[in-house]
Amino acid sequence: MAYKMNWKNFAILLSCAALFGSCKDGKLFGKKKAKSDVTGWNYNDKNQGGYQVALEKEQPSGPGLVFVQGGTFTMGATEEDVMSDWNNIPRRVTVNSFYIDKTEVANVHYREYLYWINTVFDGDEYQAVRNGALPDTLVWRSELAYNEPMVEYYFRHPAYNNYPVVGVTWKQANDFCLWRTDRVNELALIQKGFINDKSIKNVSGIGQENFNTKSYLLGEFQATPGKGARSKNNPLKNPNGTPRTNVTFEDGILLPNYRLPTEAEWEYAALGYVNQNPMPTKNDKKRGEELVTNKQVYSWSQNVNGLRDTRRGSWQGTFLANFKRGAGDNMGVAGGLNDNAVYTAPVNSFYPNGFGLYNMSGNVSEWVADVYRPLSSTDENDVASYRGNHFQTIDMTTGKPERDSLGRIKYRYVTDEEAKKRRNYQKGDVINYLDGDSLLAGVSYGYGKTTLISDHSRVIKGGSWDDRAYWLSPGTRRFLEEEQSASTVGFRCAMDRVGSAAGNGRKSGIEYKQRKQNNRKK
């Protein structure tokens, strides 16, 4: 019996050896290496050219962001235009999926940004850079109000750490987004061992030599590799099969840029319609239905009256946003305050909307990316609507990309000569496209003479602590010059979604199971 068992064990060992032997030439337990569907050559095979292809992977959510599944909605006013602006005429548009901050950017976040700038750019030659990033605390001043305590304490005192930053211009908000992109991607490379972790301790006074995502990808920023990059377990390989120390965007490690949301994205996210549509199950056996409430007034509501309550009605009558109820009433009566905030409130206060976003109505109005035009609804595309494009390209004057004094890659604007033979656009600056200037030479808005609207006017959305309820509707819109700021205006960041628009774990398109077709016999 024992003799027979030994022969049996020996047979098993022989079969295992044969199985492991099949690992040669790209096979592993019967699975072959990925190969090209168009050439048949293996991917990631040093013996067949070494073309490296990362495994398909989902986009992770960046710090502070919430995934917003895109869709179609009615953008614009959903109640009577009592201001007679005629600048938010309802229209159907489609928004691609994207990410947006769960809350407004707070004082503590912006102070973190200033700390980094003051540390990295501490030389006298960078004094203008440091000063240019400071928020304008004087926005709290008023000729007939005692607001000096807010001027002195609001931005710096720890009691206001979690309150929304204000006094920030559109340009400053945009720069914050650029900085945030680089810090998030730099940390991702450090955590995965592709950049030496000691570089974090040596940022004081490095100025131009700070990490910038685009500079890194173009090879203009030389990072000191970390342990992970030098390890034989490094999953990134050169064509010859040796570990690769530099990361490319194709590897799926770096995130897309943080940026300001477009007006369409912001308004869509504010409405939070996702709660009103049955979502598909994870196995996609049940698809969602196209149910859209086009008359929703506020970001927190689930019906046309703006009411939201539990089964027992315990929330009825309470404030769901920070706003001004009426003349002279910014927070109610002592002992029974209605919103507990005379000015701003913490960024995570009040009830979140359908996407889990806080203060999309009230607290502070928010900068969005778009240049303001009263009739944007009649001009812009019905998919990914946005006005403000002034196309750029990398400046190759010296024959290669170069960095500016802040460590960022230099760009230049696309010229009309370069664009004139294209079919999809013929000018580099298309901010005024279909708005007069591109059709009639010399036509302009006459800023400061006949209007306050210019190519530097940016849209603000959402209403603030000092606004009546009308301005809290996501469809309302106003504008402010991008160099200006206010005590009622803050911002939040957004990020592009790459890959499936349905979200992680769900493929784009609809896949149907393949069924064998019975061939009819003639």
Give the mean pLDDT of 397-417.
94
pLDDT at site 316: 61
Sequence-separated (6 or more) residues with CB below 8 Å from residue 155: 107, 110, 111, 135, 137, 165, 167
**Fold type of domain 68-192+253-386+454-496:** paralog of FGE (formylglycine-generating enzyme) (3.90.1580)
Which range (141-155, 198-212, 459-473) has the least confidence?
A: 198-212
- What 303-312 contacts at long range (C-beta under 8 Å, 24+ apart), as own/partner pairs, is 308/351
Are 99 and 491 in contact, with CB atoms under 8 Å apart? no
Relative to beta strand 478-481, strand 457-461 is antiparallel
Which helix (H) or strand (E) segment is 495 a member of?
A: strand 494-496
Q: Is 71 helix (H, G, I), strand (E, B) or coil?
A: strand
CA 91 to the chain's CA centroid: 24
pLDDT at site 381: 87
**Paired tokens of 166:** 């204000």
Residue with more model confidence, 76 or 368: 368
| pLDDT, tens only, 39-81 | 989 998 888 888 888 877 888 899 999 999 999 888 888 777 7
Sequence-separated (6 or more) residues with CB below 8 Å from residue 92: 72, 73, 74, 75, 382
Give the mean pLDDT of 224-246.
87
pLDDT at 272 over 90: no
* pLDDT band of 23, cuts 50, 70, 90: very low
pLDDT at 485 over 80: yes
- Tokens 């010296």: give the residue: 398
pLDDT at 500 over 80: yes
pLDDT at site 284: 53
Handedness of CA 124, 130, 131, 137 (dihedral sign): negative
* pLDDT band of 34, cuts 50, 70, 90: confident
pLDDT at 302 over 60: no
- Tokens 């709660």: give the residue: 275
Residue with more model confidence, 453 or 490: 490
Give the mean pLDDT of 231-240.
86
Among residues 347, 185, 152, the alpha carbon closest in space to that of 257 is found at 185
Q: What is the dihedral of CA 390, 364, 264, 498, to 10 degrees?
A: 80
Look over the chain and give the mean of its residue pLDDT values, rounded to a whole number.
Answer: 84
Among residues 46, 375, 381, the alpha carbon closest in space to that of 238 is found at 46
pLDDT at 306 over 80: no
In the chain, CATH 3.90.1580.10 sits at 68-192+253-386+454-496
pLDDT at 14 over 90: no
Give the mean pLDDT of 75-90.
77
Relative to beta strand 27-28, strand 98-101 is unpaired
CA distances from 460 to 9, 96, 348, 370 (A): 75, 21, 20, 9
pLDDT at 287 over 70: no
pLDDT at 214 over 80: yes
pLDDT at site 261: 98
**Paired tokens of 379:** 């001009």
| pLDDT, tens only, 309-350 | 555 555 566 788 898 988 888 888 888 788 889 999 999 999
